[in-house]
Chains A and B, each alone.
Chain A
Amino acid sequence: MAIKVPKDREVPFGAITPAPVRQQELFMTSNWRIVRPVIDHEKCTRCFTCYIVCPDSCWSYNEKDDQMEWNWKFCKGCQLCINECPADALTAVPELDFEDGVVRLEKPF
């Protein structure tokens, strides 16, 4: 009796997988969003609110440039950051206005 599992259907031993380190690349959610948050660095007071309220950790602080940085790969466009920013530094802009705007696929992935 020989069983051979096709490579694209393999499951690791005991369904045990390695932990991700900084991002889970196997589940990019960029194509979920309809709008993206655009930051006005002048208005931004570096209060770190956007950083703390994002469920997907899409805002991080770039020490070198003293600027908040946005993660294109994972932002779902929920607008929590836009809604919570106390300095009005964030605006929602339609995703497809951007050159690198992610096209909504017909299937989720």
Chain B
Amino acid sequence: MMQAFDYKKQILEPIKSLRGAPREEMYVPGHRTCAGCGPALNYRLVAKAAGKDTIFIGPTGCMYVANSSYLCTPYAVSWIHSQITNGGAVASGIEAAYKTMARRGKYDGPFPNVICMAGDGGSVDIGLQAMSGLMYRGHDVLFICYDNESYANTGIQTSPTTPYGANTTFTPPGKAIPEGKTLFPKDPPQLVIGGHPAVKYVATTCVSYPLDLMNKVRKALNVDGPTFLHMLAPCPKGWKFDEKLTLEMGRLAVETGMWTLYEWENGQYKYSHIPKTYKQVSEYMKYQGRFTHLKQEHIAKMQAFVDEKIQRIKAIAVEAPIPTPKAKA
């Protein structure tokens, strides 16, 4: 008989300091990701925050191929590969199975955290349909878009989150098209917010703010129903910057307004790490080889796009930032 059932869900406590973060690694050393890989660090922090009662769904992408070569994975928790097209759907099936197995007494362990770790393509391009279906149906699943702003695994091709003006192998700059990419990116959290009534929590994160990131993961897991995290994960190979600067790129993204850290919960926006004065986008772009071909007029276009985004934030109250490691002087 279908009836309300008390699923044994854990409540995860906020992490107060780096020292206080759980020491167990659920994403262990031994994977073929590039040195300094932003998505890999992102995965590690997510897995750490989620803990051992977790099932990951890994749509095809860097966080599949680079992580799981060959016939071995770095996931100390259960994990399943999905097609790049169907991360949201496979996650839905797993969650539905646990709901019914728990209800029938076929499974009496802790209700697992079901987390889909999809790249930008697997979230809002080829995977958009499945992601939206999941959000609509109200499954208790955390859908994460780790955004390295391209189809990186296949050799850096443009995706709907690739910034305007980026050089990718499908948007190379040339005589006829000097800026390379001419399209402005989709805004993944905005695709989810407001249009999916079952979703109660959406947030953005950046690897450069690890405590903020881990706490948002925990908050999302604690919320009942589908949740969405848009996580900036700088990619040294795709963005063409020195691999030791991964966290620096994340900070500059926030400090220039290219990336905004916020939470949306039950209709309310809460922002964090809002700069008192925004740096110019050129401060961010100058480190990245994918932008070096741009002329002044292109950078100005990018600045205008970011300025418009920032205007919409300025009106809203800023929340006190959560402690984060200091940047080098």
Q: Could you jot down 7 A-B contacts, CB within 8 Å?
A: A19-B73, A27-B31, A29-B29, A55-B37, A55-B38, A78-B243, A83-B248
Q: Is B318 an interface residue (CB 8 A)?
A: no
Does residue A86 face the partner (Cβ distance < 8 Å to B)?
Answer: yes
Within the assembled complex, what's the spacing in Å between the Cα atoms of A15 and B243?
33
Please tell me which one of the listed residues A15, A23, A28, A78 contacts residue B28 in the complex, with CB atoms under 8 A apart: A23
Whether A24 contacts B245 by the Cβ 8 Å rule is no
Judge if B40 is at the interface, Cβ distance under 8 Å: yes
| B210 contacts across to A, CB distance below 8 A | 52-53
**Given A23-B28, A29-B32, A17 contacting B18 (CB threshold 8 A):** no
A residues within 8 A CB of B40?
55-56
State A61–B27 Cα separation when bound (angstroms).
17
Q: Are A71 and B79 in contact (CB under 8 A)?
A: no
Are A77 and B35 in contact, with the CB atoms below 8 A?
yes
Asked if B328 contacts A85 (CB within 8 A), the reply is yes
Knowing that A74-B29, A77-B35 touch, tell me 5 more A-B residue pairs with CB under 8 angstroms: A12-B71, A15-B71, A49-B325, A61-B23, A78-B246
Interface of A (DSSP majority class) = loop
Which A residues are CB-close (under 8 A) to B72?
Answer: 17, 20, 24, 26-27
* B interface residues, tally (CB under 8 Å): 42
In the complex formed, the residue of A with least CB distance to B21 is: A52
**Complex CA–CA separation, A24 to B70 (angstroms):** 11
Identify the A interface with B (CB < 8 A): 11-12, 15, 17, 19-29, 32-33, 46-49, 51-58, 60-61, 71, 73-74, 76-80, 82-86
Q: Tell me whether A60 and B78 are in contact in the complex, defined as CB-CB below 8 angstroms, given that A17-B72, A27-B30 are known contacts.
A: no
Task: Give every chain B residue within 8 A of A32 (Cβ-Cβ).
Answer: 35
A56 close to B31 (CB less than 8 A): yes
Q: Which residues of B contact A47 (CB under 8 A)?
A: 18-19, 325
Q: Which one of B17, B29, B78, B243 contacts A19 once the chains associate, using CB atoms below 8 Å? A: B78
Chain B positions within 8 Å of A, measured between CB atoms, are: 17-19, 21, 23, 25, 27-33, 35-38, 40-41, 44-45, 69, 71-79, 210, 243-248, 325-328
Distance of B288 from chain A, by nearest CB (Å)? 16
Q: Which 10 A-B pairs have the closest CB atoms?
A: A24-B30, A78-B35, A78-B36, A74-B29, A79-B244, A76-B35, A55-B40, A48-B18, A55-B41, A26-B72
Which B residues are in CB contact (< 8 Å) with A77?
Answer: 35
* A24: contacting residue among B28, B37, B246, CB under 8 A: B28
Please give, as numbers and ranges, the residues of chain B lying within 8 Å of A25 by CB-CB distance.
Answer: 30
CA distance A58 to B21 in the complex (A): 16
CB pair A53 B31 closer than 8 Å: no
> Within the assembled complex, what's the spacing in Å between the Cα atoms of A49 and B17?
10
Minimum CB–CB distance for B23 against chain A, Å: 7
Residues of B close to A82: CB separation below 8 A: 244
